[in-house]
Structure 1
Amino acid sequence: MRSLQPGQHCEIRVASVTGDQEMAYATGNMLLEAPNWTLDGRALILNGNGRLWRLELASGALKEIPLTGVPALNNDHVLAPDGSTVCLSGEDGHIYRAPLLGGQATRITDDDGSFHFLHGVSPDGRRLAYVDIEGGDFGLPGRLRTMPSGGGPAESVDVGPGHCDGPEYSPDGGWLYLNTESFTTAPGHAQLARVRHDGSGFERLAQSGTVDWFPHLSPDGRLASFIRFPTGTQGHPADLPVDVVLVSTGDWATPLHTWPVLGGQGTLNVNSWSPDSQRFAFVAYPRAGAAPGGGHQRLPATAL
């Protein structure tokens, strides 16, 4: 499990499409990652210490979601469209489904010799999109797969030979949005792309000199957030100076707003948009002496 470094703390921030920023929660004792926004708009779902947590935005209360039948969890968790179920990736390389309020989890993936990293659930809840790492060998490129949400045979979606990650369905279900290294031979140079679920229409969304990961569309499809790593970054490591970026889906090359943070891994791994498409959440990991996160309103920080 990842943990905070000496002098480091964790800030859960909420960004507005207007460019404002709030801090919803802060802790110096536990590293939290990858917020999802609940469909009722009241809470964020995060992972930390291998478990799943619910952060109430009104009160700032953080409570564990009690799950059974799952191993330690990583930061790949996605809420199902019904709003009452969450799909999860475990450190054992399998994908699970569980009640969002807590309870018994069910394993979805088979023992097929690969590790499975969930990123997307289709709008109708019928399919999952994930990255397959053969044999759990992270020296091999991740491959884009989809499968029935209740379990069953997986299908491959061809997005070229380069490593890909973060596949997520568009709100209309017609596209999978992802980052991929297939457009360049430069090591680690991920770029944003999309592809139809049948493998057609594969296209680059913007050409940039930075390393761009994890495109997340707003529920209304008009906006998107992603994380921008420094040029030359390989993978999506932690504790780098990165930018959280907001763009219009009509122009991925021109940021509407950017929020520079110390982060990377855990900052924006999964879709964290609010149901009304007006805000999204992300995580920063500043060190002691770093300038505090800004914003038009600073919510009370709660220390665990």
Structure 2
Amino acid sequence: MWQKVCTGKLTNPWPVLLDHYNFTDDHSLYFLANKGFRFGGIQNLPEDELQNVPGTYNSDYIWNYELGLRTSWLRNTLEFDITAFHIDYTDALVVLKNAIQINYYDNVGSAESDGFEANLRWLTPIPGVIFSLSGGTVDARTTEDFQAGRDIVPAGKTLPGSADYQYSANLAAYGSPDWLVNMSVLLGYTYVGETYNDIASDEIVNDYGSYNLGMSFSIPSLKGRPTLALNVLNLTNETAPVSVINAAAGDNFYILNPPRTVTARFSLELD
């Protein structure tokens, strides 16, 4: 759930309140409240009062509140879940850059995040074919002014790494175990919406989607169970900036998403 606010990971979460109600055996409603934190630490570069770079940074804390609906349909072959959430974020930890573009950490006083997530999983009537869909929207913003280096970031600024919309769709097909050659195919699409590169600028990154394809073939009846796996990432070779490095002079540098990548792996199982 930390991804609802930023790209970091939640440390030491502990449930504080959990309530659950079953309407039927197939439909239920739950409410969850929990708290988590990440440790503060010593800065990775010297303190600099002129650039307002602190020597240390504080631990950050969140309170996460969720209200979710879990449903199952068509004799458990179709599952649909939806969750709404609100997050209160204290001493929000962000990454900034000093004058020579070296990263350092600082704490925004407070922030809030609101949104929802939904997931669907369908075991289709076609044997071995599964379709899944997931996505969500989030509005994560600061709630007080923040001194980012020499700049003042007013309250209401969107947190970096927090896309308005993200979603993915996957179609998987599996062969019968009775076939001579076991096979599986997975075709997926993932979209990441626009995000701010950092809290102190208006540079926009992401806003792209990519297709990924994976195939696996194996012959269980042969010694060593020979298996061939083929994968293609970013099938259509979409290109988009995922990060920006602001140059002290001249044009900025843009880091792009990985290009089309094809991999093949052949393996044998040894006794």
Taking structure 1 as the reference length, what is the TM-score of the superposition? 0.25
Which structure: larger Rg? 2
Higher relative contact order by CA 8 Å / sep ≥ 6: 1 or 2? 1
Taking structure 2 as the reference length, what is the TM-score of the superposition? 0.27
